[in-house]
Amino acid sequence: MSLVVGAGVYFALVFFSSAQSNSLHPIQRWFTEPAARDELATIMRRQACPGAPFILPSDGLIGLLWNDPALPYTVFSTHTGLDIFGDGGPGQVPVYAAYEGYLSRLPDWKASVIIRHNDPLQPGRTIWTYYTHMASRDGSRSFIAADFPPGTSDVRVERGRLLGYQGEYAGNSPAPIGLHLHFSIVLGDENGGFLNEARIGSTLDPSPYLGMPLNIAGLPERPIGCRP
């Protein structure tokens, strides 16, 4: 009986996800049809959309979007940022700072950095941009730039500064995640730090910061480009 209930829940989640998200099909095509990558990728080459303060931190397929319920995220939460799948191998696809600010890397972070910013859309508010998966799948090699060793705190970086390269590291998860960068915009807390990036309520819709339709509510087709 429990197997039947479990299967019912799973198929309900699949139905909900397919009705609310159009992300899984382009991601599947990205990995199964390499020849289709040119038509799926967003290539900005560190150029911002007109009027947007942020640059896209890496080029590739903008696969999962903000608040995306695509599986497996519907099981726990909706997606808190962007997953950008790069065309290359681990340690080959560059990742850049989306905006000027102050970079930190906690001592135990193998694959992640976070940058503190004065919010360009709401001056006086502190926000953070978070970048992760920048290590080999087993975590033995970090692809973060050597300028930012573990324990780095409040190092000034400019928009477009090389932070490292896309990787496949997902902590202790045994499931492959594919080469990509996870990027999110995180709210600050009352103590001057940052909130939990894994919670959708701790993050902001990146659309106005990047000048692109990046909220899954609009079901934008890939490749995603600058708003008119």
Token look-up 């992760």 returns 132
Total structural domains in the chain?
1
Q: Are 112 and 103 in contact (CB under 8 A)?
A: no
Residue 223 lies inside a defined structural domain of this protein: no
Q: Let me know if residue 23 belongs to a domain.
A: yes
pLDDT digits (tens, 9 = 90+) for 92-128: 999 999 999 999 999 999 999 999 999 999 999 999 9
Report in angstroms the alpha-carbon separations of 154 from 57, 65, 70, 106.
Answer: 19, 28, 34, 11
**pLDDT(22) > 60:** yes
Query: Picking from 3-17, 35-49, 122-136, 194-208, which range would have the lowest pLDDT averaged per residue?
Result: 3-17
pLDDT for res 200: 96
The residue that leads in pLDDT, 8 or 55, is 55
Asked if residue 110 is part of any domain, the answer here is: yes
One DSSP character per residue, 140-169 reads SSB-B-TTS-TT--SEEE-TT-EEEE-B--
- CATH number of the domain to which 85 belongs: 2.70.70.10
Q: Confidence band (pLDDT; 50, 70, 90) for 174? A: confident
Residue 192 lies in a domain: yes
Structural domain including 167 reads: 2-218
Angle at 57 between CA 213 and CA 219, to 5 degrees: 20
Tokens of 197: 């990036």
Report pTM: 0.91
The verdict on residue 103 lying in a domain is yes
Say if 225 falls within a structural domain. Answer: no
Contacts of residue 38, Cβ cutoff 8 Å, sequence gap at least 6? none
Question: Is 105 inside any structural domain?
Answer: yes
Spatial distance between the Cα atoms of 201 and 66, rounded to a whole number of angstroms: 11
The C-alpha atoms of residue 7 and residue 3 are separated, in whole angstroms, by: 6
Residues in the chain: 228
Who's near 70: CB < 8 A, 6+ residues apart?
Answer: 17, 21, 23, 24, 64, 79, 216
Q: Is residue 203 part of a domain?
A: yes
Of 206, 185, 205, 181, the closest CA to residue 195 belongs to 185
Q: Residue 129 is encoded by which pair of tokens?
A: 């941009």
Q: Residue 140 pLDDT more than 50?
A: yes
Is there a contact between 195 and 185 (Cβ–Cβ < 8 Å)?
A: no
What residue type is 97 in one-letter code?
A: A
